């Protein structure tokens, strides 16, 4: 049975150092429950309690499951790998000891940290990518994190392709999948990021289904994407302008995606994400609209 969750980023709790203040976790989790969601991701380290028993008490009190945690690591830099392993193990350990042993480490590049990639999100050309040597370093780092998490906690790691980072475009996703062990590193397919990067999420779902262990439902407004090209928005400006719109209002074919998931017997979670910057918009209203839209898809 497919179950539906949301994530703190939909309330402005993002992993970036940004101006503005996101809502506290108590309000965010309450609003998730009130709008019909059954699970959450952890959010950036420190957003929710970092003592296992406290975390369990908070989530159990809301009747929410914990599905995973986003861990950004600058994997193109070999010197960042050990710190990445340390952060992943700290995060996995918190979830494991809180009782959420099936949660994922949602590994990603340290998005927003490389100026060229941040500035050109959604319109990345091949020359902005990694060299062959950097690709090997990146893949090695991702596998190193996944292996450490598996060895210590028996937990799985998925890679989240992401605009503003080094694995954004369909070609880059394909390259990382080719360079990494399919039994060790899964894929978190984020529909909105894949669409923003110029890809077709339906095609990605069919192509990588066996590697897709975790799913993010995010929509993409192509009108904002066109504005980003014409007005040269960076990644954050695109988000501020509403690149990730409410579900059903962009160009992602969610009905076909749900049909494929049902046909293939997917029984994991779908995590809704509608990234907003801290203090932006009306997150609870959007969360409610997104949940109502998903009901129209039969979920």
**CATH no. for residue 153?**
3.20.20.150
Residue 16 scores a pLDDT above 50? no
Residue 279 scores a pLDDT above 90? no
Q: Give the pTM.
A: 0.95
Residue 18 scores a pLDDT above 50? no
Q: What is the mean pLDDT of residues 271-278?
A: 85
| Closest CA relative to residue 141, chosen from 88, 93, 98, 78 | 78
pLDDT of residue 22: 57
* DSSP label of 128: G
pLDDT of residue 20: 46
Residue 126 to residue 171: CA distance in whole angstroms: 9
pLDDT tens, residue by residue, 81-116: 999 999 999 999 999 999 999 999 999 999 999 999
pLDDT tens, residue by residue, 177-193: 999 999 999 999 999 99
- The range of the structural domain enclosing residue 278 comes to 3-296
pLDDT of residue 282: 86
Number of domains within the chain: 1
Cβ of 44: how many Cβ atoms within 10 Å?
A: 18
Q: Is the dihedral of CA 143, 180, 111, 130 positive or negative?
A: positive
- In contact, 299 and 269? CB cutoff 8 Å: no
């Amino acid at each position: 049975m497919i179950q539906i969750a949301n994530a703190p980023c939909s309330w402005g709790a993002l992993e970036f150092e940004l101006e503005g203040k996101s809502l506290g976790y108590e309000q965010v989790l309450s609003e998730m429950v009130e709008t019909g969601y059954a699970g959450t991701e952890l959010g950036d380290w420190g957003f929710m309690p970092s003592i296992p028993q406290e975390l369990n008490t908070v989530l159990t009190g809301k009747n929410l499951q914990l599905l995973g945690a986003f861990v950004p690591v600058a994997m193109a830099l070999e010197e960042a790998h050990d710190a990445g392993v340390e952060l992943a193990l700290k995060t996995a350990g918190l979830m494991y000891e809180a009782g959420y042993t099936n949660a994922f480490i949602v590994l990603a590049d340290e998005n927003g940290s490389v100026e060229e990639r941040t500035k050109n999100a959604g319109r990345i050309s091949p020359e902005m990518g990694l060299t062959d040597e950097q690709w090997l370093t990146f893949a090695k780092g991702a596998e190193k994190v996944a292996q450490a998490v598996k060895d210590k906690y028996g937990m799985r790691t998925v890679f989240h392709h992401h605009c503003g980072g080094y694995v954004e475009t369909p070609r880059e996703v394909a390259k990382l999948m080719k360079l990494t062990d399919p039994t060790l590193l899964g894929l978190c397919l984020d529909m909105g990021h894949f669409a923003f990067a110029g890809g077709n999420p339906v095609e990605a779902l069919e192509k990588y289904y066996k590697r897709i262990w975790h799913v993010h439902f995010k929509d993409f407004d192509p009108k904002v994407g066109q504005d980003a090209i014409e007005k040269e928005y960076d990644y954050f400006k695109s988000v501020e302008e509403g690149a990730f719109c409410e579900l059903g209002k962009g160009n992602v074919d969610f009905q076909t995606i749900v049909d494929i998931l049902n046909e293939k017997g997917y029984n994991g979670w779908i995590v809704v994400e509608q990234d907003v910057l801290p203090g932006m918009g009306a997150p609870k209203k959007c969360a409610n609209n997104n949940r109502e839209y998903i009901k129209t898809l039969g979920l």
